[in-house]
Structure 1
Amino acid sequence: MTATPTKTICVFCGSSFGSNPDFAAEATKLGQLMASKNYGLVYGGGTTGLMGCIAKAVASNNTYVHGIIPDALVSKERKSKDEIEKINDQLKNSVENHKGETPLDDSYGKTTIVSDMHTRKRLMGQEAEAFVAMPGGFGTLEELFEITTWSQLGIHQKPVILFNINGFYDELIIFVQKSIEAGFISENNGKILQVAATPEEVLEKLDNYKVPEGRFNLSWKNQ
């Protein structure tokens, strides 16, 4: 039985491994470091790619893991162990082979099935005390920017950390800076998103996060 986590972190990341083996290695390291501090994980519920790496690293240390997944994805994602291994091998060999399969497995913590994507994100946001984005695709970017916008709008005051493994997000960081210079993001709101290059720096910035001043002071009683 897992202990109550000291803190629960929501991690957004790809269900593919990506083309660089460092992505998976660093995801595993972050999961192990979280487990060593008894920091729990809430995430999108997949078990392949980077999602699987971090979930298994946290869960294998008997630390709390909660995957939240929409019902529409379950039939596609619930595979046998042989199929899981086959899919993982495909994803390791070629990013182009990735078809979105993220099979479920009990060794990756508990799983909650919800009705839709919006409920998934809302529940992850409510349970998490901080957010970390690792490398990923459109889904990861959408989750990252929505949760950053929620902070800007005053819906939450939780840390948002960009785990920039091997410079994966360098161009995104430049884009944010360009948006600040162009007057679309204020200097203070640009500080909502903090950047870290190592698992240790991720947790250091998360633990020492200070909510930027100048965010919108709005009331969200029903959030």
Structure 2
Amino acid sequence: MFCGSSDGRGRVYLDAARTLGRLISRRGDVLVYGGAAVGVMGAVADASLDAGGRVVGVIPRQLVEREIAHPRLTTLHVVADMHERKAMMAANADAFIAMPGGAGTLEELFEIWTWAQLGLHAKPIGLLDVNGYYEPLRAMIDHMTTEGFLQERHSRALLIDSDAERLLDRFADYRAPGPKWAPHEAAEAADLFGITEK
């Protein structure tokens, strides 16, 4: 889960986070997220825990106090830095969802989406488009595709939905579009970045 450590405007984002957290737990899935007790991050974790689910947090040491590490998690990993945080989250996730958030959320989303395009993983990636939050990004993705900087198959591989349950259902039918380059080139890229495909 990639999402903001702020609440956003109004209650719509927090309510959506709580709905998603409950859904994840009711399906028997484990929530892996950034480990904070505040904002959208805290809301999704609280809802998942309150529904009886397991929640794993991964937070850099320097953010334990700043983002307020969640005290009730099933497991909390305190890591050295943001690079280790993202690598651990990616290694322990079977799928990725980005909820509304700021620059950090987008940075995490774009990195994991880029890894998919390179063939470094074949896991589904979704955007939960709460209250039209990601409409401007959807327009930018269409523009990148039209202008030839993004292959259409990789554009379509980013699953976007405004309904949390429908998005989770779509993950079950996901088929990775394949890497941007030939398999041997993707393998060389994986070696370069020290990433093992799961």
* TM-score, structure 1 normalization: 0.81
User: What one-letter code is carried by the residue in structure 1 that aligns with 2:6?
Assistant: S
State the 4+ residue runs in structure 1 displaced beyond 4 angstroms.
Answer: none
**Residue 169 of structure 1: aligned partner:** 134
Bigger relative contact order (CA 8 A; separation at least 6): 1
8 Å CA contact 2:59, 2:69 repeated in 1: no
Distance in 1 of aligned mates of 2:47 and 2:130: 17
Looking at structure 1, the residues matched to 60 and 71 of structure 2 have their Cα atoms a distance apart, in angstroms, of: 17
Of 112, 118, 139, which aligns to 1:147? Answer: 112
Structure 1 residue 213: Cα displacement = 4.0
C-alpha distance in 2, partners of 1:201/1:132?
Answer: 13
Residue in structure 2 matched with residue 96 of structure 1 by the alignment: none
Deviates more, 1:190-199 or 1:177-186: 190-199
Q: Partners of 1:193 and 1:143 in 2: how far apart? A: 14
1:31 equivalent to 2:21? Answer: yes
Q: Look up the match of 2:102.
A: 137
Q: Is the 8 A contact 1:188 1:214 kept in 2?
A: no
Q: Report the 3-state secondary structure (helix = DSSP H, G, I; strand = E; otherwise coil) of the residue aligned with 1:183.
A: coil
Q: Percent identity?
A: 38
- SS, match of residue 72 in structure 2: helix
* 2:127–2:161 contact (8 Å) kept in structure 1: yes
Matching of residue 69 in structure 1 with residue 34 in structure 2: no
- Correspondence for 1:55: 45
SS at match of 1:51: helix
May I ask how many residue pairs the two structures share in their alignment? 188
| 1:125 lines up with 2:90 in the alignment | yes
Task: Report the counterpart of residue 8 of structure 1 in structure 2.
Answer: none
Aligned partners of 1:105, 1:130: CA distance in 2, in Å?
22
For 2:144, which of 179, 182, 194 is the aligned residue?
Answer: 179
Q: Distance in 2 between matches of 1:124 and 1:20?
A: 29
Q: Name structure 1 gaps, 5 residues minimum.
A: 1-10, 78-101
Alpha-carbon distance change, 214 to 113 in structure 1, aligned in 2, over 3 angstroms: closer
Of 139, 158, 168 in structure 2, the residue corresponding to residue 193 of structure 1 is 158
Please tell me the residue identity of whatever aligns with 2:8. Answer: G
Rounded Cα–Cα distance in structure 2 between residues aligned with 1:207 and 1:13: 22
Structure 1 residue identity aligned to 2:37? T
Q: Deviations over 1:26-66 (max 9, x none)?
A: 11001101111111111111111100011111112221111
Question: Distance in 2 between the 1:106 and 1:60 partners?
Answer: 13
Determine the C-alpha separation between the residues in 2 that align with 1:36 and 1:46.
22
Gapped regions of structure 2 (runs ≥ 5): none
TM-score by length of 2: 0.91
Q: What are the residue-to-residue correspondences of 1:79-94 with 2, within 5 Å? A: none
In the aligned structure 2, how far is the partner of 1:178 from the partner of 1:133? 20
Give the SS at the match of 1:147: helix
Q: Quick check: 1:19 aligned with 2:9?
A: yes
User: Contact conserved, 2:42 with 2:70, CA < 8 A, in 1?
Assistant: no
User: What RMSD, in angstroms, separates the aligned Cα atoms of the two structures?
Assistant: 1.2
Rounded to whole Å, the distance in 2 between the matches of 1:20 and 1:194 is 25
SS of 1:106's equivalent? Answer: coil
